[in-house]
Amino acid sequence: MLEKMGTAIRRSVPLVEVVSYDHLNTVHAISDYFTTDDETSRPIFSWDLRTGIRPENKTATEQWNPNHVIVNTIETLDYIASSVEPAEVGGLPGMQPRAIVCMVHAELILDSHYEQYQELIVTLSRMREVLKQKQVMLVLIVDDHIIPHSLQTDFLLLEETLPTDEGIEAIVEAQYLSANFPQPTAQAKNAVVTGCRGLLCDFQIEQLVALSMDRGIQGVNPETIRDYRRAAINNIPGLTLEKNECTFSQVGGMENIKDYFRLLMDGKEPP
């Protein structure tokens, strides 16, 4: 997702929608990715309905007046799209060129019941060329793709990727360190990674691993993770994952299939 955003910035794509399951983590990831130690560093800002615009990295902080608090959505978009610099717009200086502005929980303002919805859609449709000239990118972070059809040709639609195995391993190691437990063996770590694979965001994994820590075994209890995954599956209508005490050796009448799976799992490249 970040690589695609980097390509979009180089192509002067001004409007992006990102589907994310952890909005704040996405903002931090964007800030880390586009913050450098030289002049190529981009000012990163975030915005939400409660606190308004705030800087997310050093480059943005150096250019930001803490007395400038804008919460109103339309005023915020006018401020971001202002092509007048450094003259004031509505009492505030225009957004600096090359900035990236992340609107957190943008689904709240893209709801047709939102009081400024119609004005918001018109404003967004007029921002594309202005932002492109200023090299400013507006990122709407949402729970699901909800850009209206009339704006979909103006936006680049992206989705936050699921945590990788390497990312899960780093979280597991950090949780062991935080609990003052000895680092897990490769086998134990792989068991935890397998159990957490497919979870939606880093925070969800952190919480699950932390809750699965067992001081008795000085590590993660795999059964706790399995119970969580089982409960998550059982919570989906139409799906049930039963907890059965039956072992593989007790399954009868399927010797050929059992032999096949034994050979498969004990082979050189088990799945």
- The tens digit of pLDDT for each residue in 138-155 reads 999 999 888 888 888 889
- Model confidence at 112, in pLDDT bands (50, 70, 90)? confident
pLDDT in tens, 8-56: 888 888 999 999 988 988 999 999 999 988 878 889 999 888 888 888 9
Phi (first) and psi of residue 88, to 5 degrees: -95, 145
pLDDT in tens, 125-136: 888 888 888 888
Starting at the edge strand that comes first in sequence, how are the strands of the sheet with 15-19 ordered?
52-55, 44-48, 100-103, 137-142, 15-19, 156-159
| Higher per-residue pLDDT: 101 or 134 | 101
Res. 89: pLDDT tops 60: no
Q: Residue 187's CB: how many other CB atoms inside 10 A?
A: 7
Res. 122: pLDDT tops 90: no
Provide CB contacts within 8 A for 131, sequence distance 6+. Answer: 14, 15, 80, 81, 137, 138
pTM of model > 0.85: no
Buried b (16+ CB within 10 A) or exposed e, 10-46: eeebbbbbbbbbbbeebbbbbbebbbeeeeeebbbbb
Q: What is the DSSP letter of 108?
A: G
